Amino acid sequence: MKALLLAGGLGTRLRPLTDDLPKPMVPIMGKPLLERIILNLKKSGVDEVVISTHYKSDYIENYFKGKSKELGVKIHYVTEETPLGTGGAIKNAEKFFDDTFLILNSDIVSDIDYADLVKYHKRRRAQVTIASIEVRDTSQYGVIEFDSKGFITAFKEKPKPGESNSKYINAGVYVFEPEVLKEIPANTQVSVERETYPLLLSKGYKMAIYKFTGYWMDIGTVDKYKKVHEDILKGKSRFVAGLSTRGIILGENVKIHPTASVIGPAYIGDNTEVDAYATVGPYTVIGSNCRIGQESKVSNSVLWDNIKVRRFARLENSVVTSECVVEVNMEIKNTVFTANKLADITLTP
Ligand code: GDD
Ligand code: MG
């Protein structure tokens, strides 16, 4: 089975985390989100993926170069010079698909069972099936209205207040029959949500809704990006395989000084060192090759790779991107530290 991964968005709302890398490549517990998505797809029987890119496309191709074998999944790339929108990106990858296939937004952390979704799609004999979850505030999403038989009757992207009573939103995971691709114009900017879905409905295509209730979060903002880590550490999501414990997860060759304390839940990546009297945790994720200095304190934070936290520094409820040096005594609270600068952003405590 094949899947198309939509990964060309600008990631504007996730800035400054997306200053140097595209949104699908932000690390989730030490590994790019896109890689974790591919690993999960593989478990559901997907053996070939097409990654549709635009913003920082080289970053994605360079990362996955030579990784295909290790992942056990064949990877193709389709790159847009100018962004084609979600519908245009799907049309642009048409040549890869001649059978039922999956389409995924690449900024979603979820426990959705792709194999079950596809099974449902086939049972309903739908031409498109959209995975959906129920939320309280639908304003940032695509809203789905459906009939008593589970077929979609209307699709409203980012509705204004009062425009729809439905609380079921587009979870950014679709199953398509290739025949519907003929309805999308080629080489044209098209939004699948704003244009294609309403068009398909008006033409009488069978579109089914697949409701699911498990963990789902889109990492569209830094607050949500941080929250995802907290949720994974709390055991609320199965997105990261092999994390059965809610305690302390250590990578390979992690060195923790006997006088340092690590308070779970916490994750510390490969080759990271925690020096004397330092405190790490709770709800903290530290990437690979980091050095957490003497008597420093890191709590409720997500640190990427190759970071130095110098002596007596304090980090709380913050995100630090790769290669940063947090100087001696520095205090970082409720914000993002990137390119060795404090970002103009306040995270919800
Ligand atoms: N190739 C390509 N080209 N990909 C794109 C483009 C483009 O021009 N524009 C967006 N994408 C990719 C993004 O990288 C992302 O993975 C996905 O398409 C969705 O774009 P977002 O920018 O994240 O959209 P959104 O979050 O505002 O809304 C979408 O997701 C919601 C769920 O999180 C919509 O699909 C909503 O209906 C949905 O509820
Ligand atoms: Mg999104």
- Rg over alpha carbons for the chain, rounded to the nearest Å, is 21
Cα(130) to ligand 2 centroid in Å equals: 15
Q: Where are the alpha helices (DSSP H) in 165-290?
A: 197-202, 222-233
Q: For 138-151, how does the pLDDT look when each residue is reduced to its tens digit (9 = 90+)? A: 999 999 999 999 99
Structure tokens at 91: 């049309």
Query: How confident is the prediction for the chain on average, in pLDDT?
Result: 95
Q: For 273-302, how does the pLDDT look when each residue is reduced to its tens digit (9 = 90+)? A: 999 999 999 999 999 999 999 999 999 999
Whether the per-residue pLDDT at 244 is higher than 80: the answer is no
Whether the per-residue pLDDT at 66 is higher than 90: the answer is no
Structure tokens at 43: 């478990």
- Length of the chain equals 349
Residue 133 CB partners (closer than 8 Å, separation 6+): 168, 169, 171, 211, 212, 213, 216
Cα(339) to ligand 2 centroid in Å equals: 24
Range with top average pLDDT, 63-67, 79-83, 272-276: 272-276
Rounded CA separation 334/300 (Å): 9
Report yes or no: 128 and 176 within 8 Å, Cβ to Cβ. yes
- Kindly give the number of the ligand 1 atom that is closest to the alpha carbon of 52: 1
Report yes or no: 325 and 307 within 8 Å, Cβ to Cβ. yes
Q: For 165-175, how does the pLDDT look when each residue is reduced to its tens digit (9 = 90+)? A: 999 999 999 99
Residue 26 pLDDT: 96
Whole-number percent of the chain with pLDDT over 90:
93
Whole-number percent of the chain with pLDDT over 70:
99
Q: Which of 107, 164, 167, 194 most suits a substitution to test ligand 1, by most atoms within 8 Å of the C-beta?
A: 107
* Bond preceding residue 16 cis, omega within 30 of 0: yes
Residue 241 pLDDT: 78
Write 152-159 long-range contacts (CB < 8 A, 24+). Answer: 152/197, 152/201, 152/207, 152/208, 152/209, 153/201, 154/198, 154/201, 155/130, 155/193, 155/197, 155/198, 155/201, 155/207, 157/191, 157/193, 157/194
pLDDT class of 246 with cuts at 50, 70, 90: low
Residue 10 pLDDT: 85
Residue 215 pLDDT: 96
- Kindly give the number of the ligand 1 atom that is closest to the alpha carbon of 170: 39
Q: For 105-154, how does the pLDDT look when each residue is reduced to its tens digit (9 = 90+)? A: 999 999 999 999 999 999 999 999 999 999 999 999 999 999 999 999 99
For ligand 1, atom 31: residue with the closest CA: 141
Question: What's the pTM?
Answer: 0.95
Report yes or no: 317 and 349 within 8 Å, Cβ to Cβ. yes
* Structural domains present in the chain: 2-218 (3.90.550.10), 244-342 (2.160.10.10)
For ligand 1, atom 35: residue with the closest CA: 172
Instruction: Give which of 29, 15, 71 is closest to 5, Cα–Cα.
Output: 71
- Could you give the C-alpha distances from 94 to 24, 87, 271, 323, in angstroms and in order? 22, 11, 43, 39
